[in-house]
């Protein structure tokens, strides 16, 4: 079981490789967790960006480049691209070419095959050519979110290690924003992984941090930028529902712009990235064995959460799953007596008694609580 309502198998590693170093060794664990040189990480990626923007994205907290500029053309990947990524402290998921196998910053290879048969063939080719790096597929999300092509998804996830899917609030209805699309997408891909040989795939939803347009050929629809709160919520909702990494899509079309993230979202992206990094060790730990119950007091209210156990402490990651404020009640055995509660973000004690704690959360608001044995909390 991944968690009570949701689960997070993730962490962050700031990869620093010299330009002369060899490529990092990457693997995917049975629950979809992503490993770089044996350490579980949360990849924070950015989609198809040129070399002159590497330092900019690293400053915002990114640790991985996903899909080099050039779309499906393998020759778009040059040795200089990977050398530049290594100098900026970024890993990279790129098109496979034999001369790139030993290059620095290589985290994995791209497979663009869509049919199950072609996907299986390409996956075997890539894994045989290089068993030390993962294979990623850009997975279509529309049909999956509509509840269609479940069998296709089940077959497709067998022929990749990682899935990256573009998801945004208006993708099913241009006139209605649904911030929960990202959590629904992760849930559906997880279900497609049931009984998958070797365990689950690593899932990286691709989220928009900006005002953007589709290509004119697809309608040229203009989509609004998320508010900082909406951006933060989508990231944490994805992680709570079991995403193993996040990719950000800062591109706009017609006119084409590589990146145009608003200043407020830039700031939030940096804050959110730092917070994920700060709790990396807790986020990669196993689910807490302590029975923890969370409920929203608002009628029809939604609360999304997951738990972790690290070094004897229990962590609870929770978001108010709606735009309206609501009071959230957490219950755990011994809370307020044998166990004490802390706001882990502010690193300060929180009152709890009778085995419960109640707190009002604003719309889409995040909390991270740490439950400590009372004897340790008093030290």
Question: Domain residues for 182?
Answer: 26-283
CA 185 – CA 6 distance, rounded (Å): 13
272 and 361 share a domain? no
**Per residue in 116-150, is it b (16+ CB within 10 Å) or e — as a string?**
beebbebbeebbeebeebbbbbbbebeebbeeeee
**Whole-number Å distance between alpha carbons of 210 and 46:** 13
pLDDT tens column, 289-334: 999 999 998 887 899 999 999 999 999 999 999 999 999 999 999 9
Tell me what pLDDT residue 284 has: 79
Number of domains the chain contains: 2
**Per-residue pLDDT, 4:** 37
Helices then strands, counting H and E runs in the chain, come out as 10, 21
Q: Quick: pLDDT tens for 252-267.
A: 988 899 999 999 999 9
Final residue before a domain boundary, out of 283, 306, 334: 283
Q: For residues 260 and 351, state if they share a domain.
A: no
Residues 253 and 323 in one domain: no
DSSP notation for 84-137: HHHHHT-EEEE---GGGTT-TTEEEEEE---SHHHHHHHHHHHHHH-TTSEEEE
**CA of 46: how far to CAs of 60, 68, 277, 333, in Å?**
10, 10, 16, 42
Please check whether residues 194 and 340 belong to one and the same domain.
Answer: no
Same domain, 240 and 164: yes
- Final residue of a structural domain among 266, 283, 300: 283
Contacts 24+ apart (CB under 8 A), 49-52: 49/250, 49/258, 49/259, 50/258, 51/80, 51/81, 51/84
Here the CATH number for the domain that contains residue 355 is 2.60.40.1180
Q: Which domain-ending residue is among 283, 309, 338? A: 283
Residues 65, 91, single domain; the answer is yes
Same domain, 276 and 354: no
- 15 inside domain: no
- Plot region of 262 (φ>0 → left; ψ -120 to 50 → alpha; else → beta): beta
pTM of the model: 0.90
Per-residue confidence in pLDDT tens, the chain, 379 aa: 344 333 222 223 333 333 345 678 999 998 899 999 999 899 999 999 999 999 999 999 999 999 998 765 666 678 889 999 999 999 999 998 887 777 889 999 999 777 888 999 999 999 999 999 999 999 889 999 999 988 999 999 999 999 999 999 999 998 899 999 999 999 999 999 999 999 999 999 999 999 988 877 777 788 999 999 999 999 999 999 999 999 999 999 888 999 999 999 999 999 999 999 898 888 878 899 999 999 998 887 899 999 999 999 999 999 999 999 999 999 999 999 999 999 999 999 999 999 999 999 999 999 999 999 987 544 4
Phi, psi angle pair for 278, to nearest 5° = -60, -35
Question: Both 60 and 207 in a single domain?
Answer: yes
Q: Are residues 207 and 315 in the same domain?
A: no
């Amino acid at each position: 079981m991944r968690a009570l309502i949701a689960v997070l198998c993730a962490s962050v590693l700031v990869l620093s490789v010299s330009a002369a170093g060899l490529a990092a060794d990457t693997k995917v664990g049975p629950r979809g967790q992503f490993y770089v040189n044996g350490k579980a990480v949360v990849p924070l990626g950015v989609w198809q960006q040129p070399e002159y923007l590497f330092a900019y994205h690293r400053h915002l907290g990114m640790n991985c480049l996903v899909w080099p500029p050039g779309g499906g053309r393998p020759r778009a990947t040059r040795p200089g691209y990977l050398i530049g990524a290594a100098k900026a402290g970024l890993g990279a998921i790129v098109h496979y070419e034999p001369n790139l196998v030993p290059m620095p910053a290589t985290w994995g290879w791209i497979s663009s095959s869509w049919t199950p048969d072609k996907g299986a063939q390409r996956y075997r080719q890539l894994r045989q050519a290089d068993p030390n790096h993962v294979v990623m597929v850009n997975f279509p999300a529309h049909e999956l979110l509509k509840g269609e092509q479940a069998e296709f998804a089940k077959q497709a996830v067998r022929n990749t290690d990682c899935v990256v899917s573009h998801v945004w609030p208006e993708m099913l209805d241009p006139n209605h924003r649904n911030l929960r699309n990202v959590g629904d997408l992760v849930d559906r891909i997880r279900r497609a992984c049931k009984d998958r040989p070797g365990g689950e795939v690593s899932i990286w939803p691709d989220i928009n941090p900006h005002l953007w347009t589709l290509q004119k050929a697809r309608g040229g629809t203009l989509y609004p930028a998320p508010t900082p709160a909406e951006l933060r919520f989508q990231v944490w909702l994805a992680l709570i529902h079991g995403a193993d990494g996040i990719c950000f899509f800062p591109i706009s079309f017609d006119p084409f712009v590589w990146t145009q993230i608003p200043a407020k979202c830039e700031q939030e992206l940096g804050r959110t990235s730092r917070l994920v990094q700060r709790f990396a060790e807790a986020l990669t730990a196993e689910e807490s064995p302590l029975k923890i119950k969370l409920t929203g007091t608002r009628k029809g209210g939604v609360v999304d959460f997951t738990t972790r156990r690290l070094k004897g402490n229990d962590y609870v990651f929770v978001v108010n799953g709606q735009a309206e404020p609501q009071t959230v009640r957490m219950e755990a055995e011994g809370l307020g007596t044998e166990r004490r509660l802390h706001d882990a973000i502010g690193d300060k004690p929180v009152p709890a008694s009778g085995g419960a704690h109640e707190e009002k959360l604003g719309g889409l608001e995040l909390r991270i609580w740490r439950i400590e044995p009372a004897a340790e909390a008093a030290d």
